[in-house]
Structure 1
């Protein structure tokens, strides 16, 4: 009789011990999972915040320079000389303008081209490039957008070049106004390589098989571990990102795994 009771007590104690271990294991698992999720979300948030801050500064630097150049007296006189076919005005201002652009490009290796499109449909590019005959800068999207928003720096959608370099490039442009009438007499533009920016983004490490990416306004992946250059606008998660707030978090499932994505919009480019 005693042995039976002892056996029952032992079985009961073992059962209670197993249940206790299971409960402790479950609680520990839940706490560990929550801790990992919290840590990962904080890491992702900080990574997105830093990338957005750096990207905004990157674009602001070029935007500020465009604002200065658009009100530069020599550049204004140069454009007026071209529009009026005034050789004296052109000759007195052309070289200082070209030298200024050359110097700016040497200090900023990300600048591929600087150019001036005039109301009279002339195009001056630094460094010089061969343009198609009859090229009309006033018909280009960057000129039209700048003309329609004369007091702002405008940005084109980034694009990936078709040559071997596969560089991501964006154009920034600013209208140049006649000081007395505020009439648009031309537009200054920069073609800016985003290689330096994408290199910074690619260097950001995210734990737990995470990664960073950069999209344009149309859902093209400009920076992505495997899908750079691909149109992901039909991806459900990417769609949700564009339909949501300028910044936020999206939770989703992929390959039978729970995942989340932090995102933010670069203010300068929208």
Structure 2
């Protein structure tokens, strides 16, 4: 009897040892597999969000570059430099008519002369040299200057002014200014889908949101309100994983033309579904492994 009991105890010990030898590696393998699966899923989201942010910035830069090109071409046109009114008015009209986003285009000079298209009545004492668009361009003479977005009172559109100061052939100074609607850019951002539930946003260099699918977020400064916002402003380019009520991953890129930052964001509840599939598959593998070990140990 005692001999049988010893054999049974020995068998049980061997079974336990055998199961530990088989199960421990399986658990380690499962843990490593889950860790790698999570990293792989997150890497895919990192790539997706950054790619979308890059695409948004490419669209913005292309939009602004077209207007900037026209501005630069005006500052080198011989008719403009000679103050030929017919040439100036013709060029302004052609640029405005060719681009539906251009609301107003004008040239003011240091002699207080003003050409503007479409033509509007200006006060007889109107002095372009006192206007912010003129003075800002003078401060950065010879460079393209882009204002922060603002609401146009007349059209209720979101616009920016692109300007540049240049010198005329008689030695006087002039500034070309173009009021451009950016509603097309904002609409493009607002309609962007990142996965099924993710979204895109556009912020100024200081962190102020100018485009977001949630209107309550407009004009919120994320650099002042959120830690992740400060990080995005500091980094300017790249990816960030952070928690804002839930875990999120964002990709972001900065415009070379405006300095604005486009952000593409995906919530954990969406990309987590991909990880959940890996968990289920791995757990099934572990159960099967344990079952086989148990059967062999009988």
Fold equivalence (TM over 0.5): yes
Note if 1:107 corresponds to 2:93: no
Q: Which moved more, 1:136-145 or 1:205-214?
A: 205-214
**In the alignment, structure 1 residue 269 sits paired with structure 2 residue 258:** yes
Structure 2 residue aligned with 1:206? 194
2:34 aligns to what?
29
SS of the residue 1:225 aligns to: coil
Instruction: Give the TM-score normalised by structure 2.
Output: 0.71
1:56 has 2:45 as partner: no
Measure the CA separation in 2 of the matches of 1:174 and 1:140: 13
Residue range with higher mean Cα deviation, 171-180 or 27-36: 171-180
| Aligned-residue offset at 1:261 | 3.4
1:194 paired residue among 168, 182, 188: 182
Name the structure, 1 or 2, with higher relative contact order (CA <8 Å, separation 6+): 2
Which of 30, 41, 46 in structure 2 is aligned with 1:41?
A: 46
Task: From 149, 157, 160, give the equivalent of 1:158.
Answer: 149
The CA deviation at 1:219 is: 2.5
Among 115, 136, 147, the residue aligned to 2:127: 136
Match of 1:220 in 2: 208
Q: Which has the larger radius of gyration?
A: 2
Task: Report the alpha carbon displacement of residue 171 of structure 1 after superposing the two structures with TM.
Answer: 0.6
- CA apart distance, 1:55: 2.2
Q: CA deviation at 1:249?
A: 3.7
TM-score by length of 1: 0.78
Which structure carries more helix by proportion?
2
Q: CA deviation at 1:39?
A: 1.1
Structure 1 pair 229–5 and aligned structure 2 pair: CA distance change class (3 A):
same
Q: Which moved more, 1:38-47 or 1:116-125?
A: 116-125
Q: Is the 8 A contact 1:51 1:201 kept in 2?
A: yes
CA contact (8 A) 1:160 1:229 kept: no
Unaligned runs of 5+ in 2: 260-298
